[in-house]
Amino acid sequence: MLGITFSPTEDLRKWREEVGLTADLLCDADRLVALAYGAAESADQERATRVTVIVGPDGKVLQAYAVDNAEAHPAEALAHIG
């Protein structure tokens, strides 16, 4: 599992340690990943739209959907790949 956000890598490191997150976090400062996966409509969008993209072992997108409830989302995402 990977998390991708626009935040600088140092901010990601601090937040990851603060909340005890075990998933890897990647910085998408130029928003290319967000644009490719529908989490941003433009390169100047301030915040990413929360989406989940499930990618299969073959690299193909199996499912993509908007995240409605960030707190409940991890359990929902795990149920999709379960």
Residue 63 has what DSSP assignment?
A: E
Q: What pTM did the predictor assign?
A: 0.74
Same domain? 55 vs 82 = yes
Q: Are residues 9 and 42 in the same domain?
A: yes
Q: Do 38 and 2 share a structural domain? A: yes
Domain count, the chain: 2
Q: Which helix (H) or strand (E) holds 70?
A: none
Q: For residue range 70-79, what is the model confidence (pLDDT) as tens digits? A: 778 778 888 8
* Residues 25 and 5: beta-carbon distance below 8 Å: yes
Q: Which residues is 70 bridged to in the sheet?
A: none
Q: What is the pLDDT of residues 7-33, one digit of tens each?
A: 999 999 998 899 888 888 899 999 999
Query: Beta strands of 6-77 (E only): which ranges?
Result: 24-27, 51-55, 61-66
69 and 36, same structural domain?
Answer: no
Specify whether 43 is located in the same domain as 55: no
User: Could you tell me if 16 and 25 are in contact, meaning their C-beta atoms sit under 8 angstroms apart?
Assistant: yes
Print the domain residue range for 68.
50-82
